[in-house]
Amino acid sequence: MSENIYEALRASHELQRTLCRKMLRASPKGDNRKALAKELAEELAAHAAAEERFLYAPILMNDMGLDPSRHALSEHHKIDEAVEKLSSLDPSGEAWLNHAKELSKLVHHHLKEEEKKFFQISGKILSDTQKTRLATQYRKDYQRMHHVLASK
């Protein structure tokens, strides 16, 4: 059986969790914190863009999915703002670590809520065929966005 949209998204979710964990454990010395924060930022951006196009947009078209999609989009915006703030801070400082913890908390909250609530609601809206087709579209766009973001 082919991969569905939820399996594709969960793979990125696990990577996000891993990167958050590594970022918080990284030493303030050297460039490891900065590199991990950049890798996380790219992962979050690529994932969010593809997810918004190939999960949220179709769900927004259904009355049952309107409010959950808006909520999820709002959380993506908060995460984007936290990433931007983190990138403006000195990675060796205490403020950076505190903000990294806040970002990690936002990411973990969003992923948990999405997997426990949004996936169930959207699963009732989408057909099995749509779930498989959306997974393929998501993966292609996710890879494309990684390429675009890495070249910046």
Residues 6+ apart with CB under 8 A from 76: 48, 52, 110
Q: Residue 24: pLDDT band by 50, 70, 90 thresholds? A: very high
> Residue 64's Cα: distance from chain center in Å?
22
Q: Residue 30: pLDDT band by 50, 70, 90 thresholds? A: confident
Mean residue pLDDT across the chain: 96
Other Cβ atoms closer than 10 A to 86 = 23
Superfamily name and number for 5-150: nmb1532 protein domain like (1.20.120.520)
Alpha-carbon distance values, 114 to 10, 26, 90, 109, 120 (Å): 10, 27, 31, 8, 9
Query: What is the per-residue pLDDT for 2?
Result: 85
Burial tier of 94 (Cβ tally within 10 Å: 0-12, 13-18, 19+): exposed
The pair of three-digit structure tokens given for residue 140, joined into one six-digit string: 């292609």
The pair of three-digit structure tokens given for residue 73, joined into one six-digit string: 């989009």
**Per-domain boundaries in the chain:** 5-150
Query: What is the per-residue pLDDT for 152?
Result: 81
Does residue 1 register a pLDDT over 80?
no
More confidently predicted of 30 and 40: 40
Model pLDDT for residues 36-64, shown as the tens digit of each residue: 999 999 999 999 999 999 999 999 999 99
Model pLDDT for residues 98-124, shown as the tens digit of each residue: 999 999 999 999 999 999 999 999 999
Nearest to 54 by CA among 129, 125, 139: 139
Query: What is the per-residue pLDDT for 29?
Result: 87
Helix (H) or strand (E) holding 119: helix 119-125
Query: What is the per-residue pLDDT for 102?
Result: 98
